[in-house]
């Protein structure tokens, strides 16, 4: 069974600092890995999707890397802003399966 872990559970940084969020998974047989953002009491917004054959994806200030063999992904957010405060969840799409396995998320607070 796929297990997805995100450490730390919470993170607080001053505005302008770069954010590094970690995700690890136990089974490397995946189709893709997705990073989502969730604001309090809201649904999930997809940020980046990395296919299993890719090493990284970039969108604006966000960059996500994937090391499938070691079961790790990292989400980098450059020059953080208070508006980046949210919970960030990673999820892996298991090969030969339809399910997304989610981590519990890292809650980020960016202090002005």
Partner 1 sequence: DAMVIQNPRYQVTQFGKPVTLSCSQTLNHNVMYWYQQKSSQAPKLLFHYYDKDFNNEADTPDNFQSRRPNTSFCFLDIRSPGLGDAAMYLCATSRGQSNEKLFFGSGTQLSVL
Interface with partner 1 (CB under 8 A): 4, 9, 31-32, 34, 36, 41-46, 49, 51, 89, 93, 96-100, 102-105, 107
**Among residues 15 and 39, whose Cβ is nearest to partner 1?**
39
**Among residues 79 and 95, whose Cβ is nearest to partner 1?**
95
**Residue 104: alpha-carbon gap to chain centroid:** 10
Q: Is the distance from CB of 33 to CB of 92 less than 8 angstroms?
A: yes
Neighbours of 72 (CB within 10 A): 15
Shortest distance, position 16 Cβ to partner 1, whole Å = 27
The CA–CA distances, whole Å, from 85 to 23, 37, 52, 72, 111 equal 18, 9, 28, 23, 9
Shortest distance, position 102 Cβ to partner 1, whole Å = 4
**Among residues 7 and 79, whose Cβ is nearest to partner 1?**
7
């Amino acid at each position: 069974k796929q297990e997805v872990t995100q450490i730390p559970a919470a993170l607080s940084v001053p505005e302008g600092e770069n954010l590094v969020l970690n995700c690890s998974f136990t089974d490397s047989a995946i189709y893709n890995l997705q990073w989502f953002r969730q604001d309090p009491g809201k649904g999930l917004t997809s940020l980046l999707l990395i296919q299993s054959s890719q090493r990284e994806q970039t969108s604006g200030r966000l960059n996500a890397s994937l090391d499938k063999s070691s079961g790790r992904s990292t989400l980098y957010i450059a020059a953080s802003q208070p508006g980046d405060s949210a919970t960030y969840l990673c999820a892996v799409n298991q090969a030969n399966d339809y399910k997304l396995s989610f981590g519990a998320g890292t809650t980020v607070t960016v202090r002005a």
